[in-house]
Amino acid sequence: MKKVIVTGGAGFIGSHLAEALVIKGYHVVILDNFSTGRMDNIRTFEKSPHIDVEKVDITDFSAVSKVFEDTTFVFHLAALADIVPSIQEPLKYHNANVNGTITVLEAARKAGVKKVIYAASSSCYGIPDNYPTPETAPIRPMYPYALTKYLGEQYVMHWNQTYDLPCISLRLFNVYGPRSRTSGTYGAVFGVFLAQKLAGKPFTVVGDGTQTRDFTYVTDVVDAFITAAESDKRGEMYNVGSGGTYSVNCLVELLGGEVMHIPKRPGEPDCTFADTNKIQRELGWFPKVSFEIGVKQMLNNIDLWRDAPVWDEQTIASATKDWFSYLGRG
**DSSP one-letter code for 26:** -
Residues linked to residue 169 through DSSP beta bridges, in sequence order: 118, 237
Q: Which residues contact 229 (CB under 8 A, 6 or more apart)?
A: 4, 73, 75, 115, 117, 168
CB of 15 closer than 8 Å to CB of 9: yes
Task: Give the span between the Cα atoms of 49 and 74, in whole angstroms.
Answer: 19
β-partners of residue 92 are none
Nearest residue to 168 (alpha-carbon basis) of 240, 111, 90: 240
Of 140, 154, 54, 52, whose CA–CA distance to 101 is shortest? 154
Identified catalytic residue from 93, 145, 150, 176: 145
Would you call 150 a catalytic residue per the annotation?
Answer: no
Q: What is the largest CA-CA distance in the chain?
A: 56
The Cβ of residue 16 has, within 10 Å, a number of other Cβ atoms equal to 25
Instruction: Report yes or no: 6 and 21 within 8 Å, Cβ to Cβ.
Output: yes
Judged by DSSP in three states, 294 sits in: helix
Which residue, 201, 218, 98, 202, is CA-closest to 152?
98
In angstroms and rounded to an integer, the radius of gyration of the C-alpha atoms of the chain is 19
Catalytic residues: 145
